[in-house]
Chains A and B, each alone.
Chain A
């Protein structure tokens, strides 16, 4: 170890490994991962979310899973929870769409209306 900078760089790289265990109070992205979700392709969606969040080094964003949300026909789906905001439910997701949601909704705060359950049900 030659300098503090070197140590701090290593810390930054290592932080991703443990970030999940910090108590995040920020955004929660919950992916439906029951049988219906998994068979519809929830796993690649989840992995895309995890990857995108890591790539953009977003702090306080946790990607987690849940069981069947009850609208199996709309799977794969996930919900975004943020303090003080209405829950947003995205349906018929895939990896690419998930990445767009991260970019527009999570990072820029703009809900991707066309993917939401509201838009679909119209």
Chain B
């Protein structure tokens, strides 16, 4: 076997790939060859490290040097300094990993310190395209033990005892779901994996599939054994080409090694799986629509009951779990239900992966124990709000969730607490908003998304969300009335109660939660025709503050529609609000902060 003294881990997650990490990888391979180091240093392309904000990321072992925001040219320096001469290039290190001039271990960096990685444990550690690396980190051990040593009932019992709940949205107890499917009558059963991650800004599942695809194969095989299935489907969106590609490689490798196919581990158990590509419709993340889509039908939801556990794919009992849910299972088998249930809160066990985005310093992926407070997630792991702005709210659960205001920032994150606050866990999107975000505008953004993505099957969702959006548009345009606010609430409640599937039932949440917590902002739009955050254009007026104006004329020169008048050095400038297009150019240009909007 070949021996290497150094491993260079290059992030191959979508985030880093889009900032040229593949070119960085190429350059490393090239220069290592040129410097005659190819028998000493090995380049490994891994999955996402989570700290996407600092991408492209490269970690060099055994030192564990964490290089961030690299450019292709920087590779030359790292090779000539670090690899050839053994001098870590401090200037290129992630700046938080340096303290008092000394490099710290990555695990001591704020972003990673409070994290606990279960679902993401192999992401950024192994090469996802090499099955042996997965096996080296205990891969397929859980499947082996389950098949040779446990009955299906025992497997289900462990999953039940662990307290694992679905990570894709509702948080239904996973063990119970497995039990229902196992007990359902049927000659043929299926297991399926929901990888149709559609929430704006969410990329947890993508990262698991890109960074550790084998865990999904192993876990689905375990689930198939537990419920009595022999065939699995992974439903994944075609917009995730890297994830699709790596999962296919992983499936092929598992087949070659006999970890998929007939008589796995020399037992009676046989299992095979295939990938089904979705075309990117948000509704296909809803389980019954997803099942229709797998069957080749139009992706529209079916009424429940019957639930998929009874009548799923091709009307056969089907177990459907989300990617992250599956990613937890092998660890639960290996380390026991007690270990898993020791993490988290009373009713929400284990960890949860969140995609942190919006107004936050460390945009990226984090996995934290349930019960971590929002404050810890946003400030300790996320690094706080950029530019010293004030935190206003955090949106969890994507278009199905709600906005949680600053007053509740010390709430421990778990399924029940989030629902109590009018939001939900959802799949784990976490969008942070600061004082510059208008909550009416945010509600509009999410509703606009659901209007676009509503499949049109049931009236409350198809027409109701559209009417709600129209009212929000009115409010944002300054023509909203008090009646609109009441109508908005009534309609939202009707849609929640009357929609066929989860998409419609949760679509009004962003509106309801902002109405609940930020009524004052809605009222300012309606009564005072004013947008407090200065976002809704129709309600904005730009003005020159006469006392501050130095008559320099810079604003007038910048104005694209020539609506600012005045004489340089002589008179104070004035903005003609009739003609102003509210482009903000003058405000940004003024060196004396003499222009205000409001």
Give me the interface of A with B, judged by CB distance under 8 Å: 1-4, 7-8, 10-11, 13-18, 20-21, 23-24, 31-35, 38, 43, 46-47, 50-51, 54, 62-67
Contacts and interface: CB of A to CB of B under 8 A. Distances in A.
A26 B109 CA distance: 21
Contacts of B140: 1, 7
A10 B141 CA distance: 11
B9 interface: yes
24 contacts: A1-B257, A1-B259, A4-B141, A7-B140, A7-B144, A8-B141, A10-B132, A13-B132, A14-B135, A17-B1, A17-B136, A20-B4, A20-B6, A20-B61, A20-B62, A21-B61, A34-B86, A47-B39, A47-B40, A50-B4, A64-B62, A65-B5, A67-B85, A67-B86
Interface string B137-159: 11111001100100000000000
B105 interface: yes
Contacts, number: 102
B49 to A, nearest CB: 12
Given A4-B144, A33-B85, A46-B5, A11 B136 contact: yes
Interface of B: 1, 3-7, 9, 39-40, 61-64, 84-87, 105, 107, 125-126, 132-133, 135-141, 144-145, 148, 257-259, 264-266
Contacts of A13: 1, 132
Nearest to A54: B3
A23 B107 CA distance: 10
Nearest to B137: A18
Contact of B258 (A2, A51, A64): A2
Among B62, B105, B126, B265, residue most surrounded by chain A Cβ atoms (within 10 Å): B62
Nearest to B148: A4
Nearest to B7: A20
B137 A2 contact: no
A92 B7 CA distance: 27
B132 A35 contact: no
Given A11-B141, A46-B40, A66-B87, 12 more contacts: A2-B266, A3-B266, A17-B132, A20-B6, A20-B62, A31-B86, A33-B85, A33-B86, A47-B5, A62-B62, A63-B5, A64-B62
A14 B132 contact: yes
B3 to A, nearest CB: 5
Given A23-B64, A46-B5, A65-B5, A11 B135 contact: yes
A93 to B, nearest CB: 15
A1 B257 CA distance: 6
Contacts of A50: 3-5
Contacts of B64: 23
A3 B265 contact: yes
A47 B257 CA distance: 32
Nearest to A34: B85
Contacts of B133: 14, 17-18
B63 A64 contact: yes
Contacts of B107: 23
Contacts of B6: 20
A63 B85 contact: no
Contacts of B138: 11
Among A10, A38, A65, A67, residue most surrounded by chain B Cβ atoms (within 10 Å): A65
Contact of A66 (B86, B126, B258): B86
Nearest to B258: A1
Contacts of A11: 135-136, 138-139, 141
Contacts of B61: 20-21
Contact of B135 (A7, A35, A43): A7
Contacts of A20: 4, 6-7, 61-62
B141 to A, nearest CB: 7
B255 to A, nearest CB: 11
A21 B61 CA distance: 6
Nearest to A18: B136
A5 to B, nearest CB: 9
A26 B151 CA distance: 40
Contacts of B257: 1
A54 B61 CA distance: 16
A6 to B, nearest CB: 9
A63 B5 CA distance: 7
A82 to B, nearest CB: 16
A81 B380 CA distance: 33
| 7 nearest CB pairs, A to B | A65-B86, A14-B136, A33-B86, A14-B132, A4-B144, A62-B62, A1-B258
B513 to A, nearest CB: 42
B7 A21 contact: yes
A1 B267 CA distance: 10
Among A7, A32, A50, residue most surrounded by chain B Cβ atoms (within 10 Å): A7
Contacts of B126: 18
A2 B85 contact: no
Contacts of A63: 5, 62
Contact of A24 (B62, B135, B139): B62
A78 B4 CA distance: 18
A23 B135 contact: no
A32 B264 CA distance: 49
A71 B40 CA distance: 25
Among A2, A8, A15, A17, residue most surrounded by chain B Cβ atoms (within 10 Å): A17
A8 B9 CA distance: 25
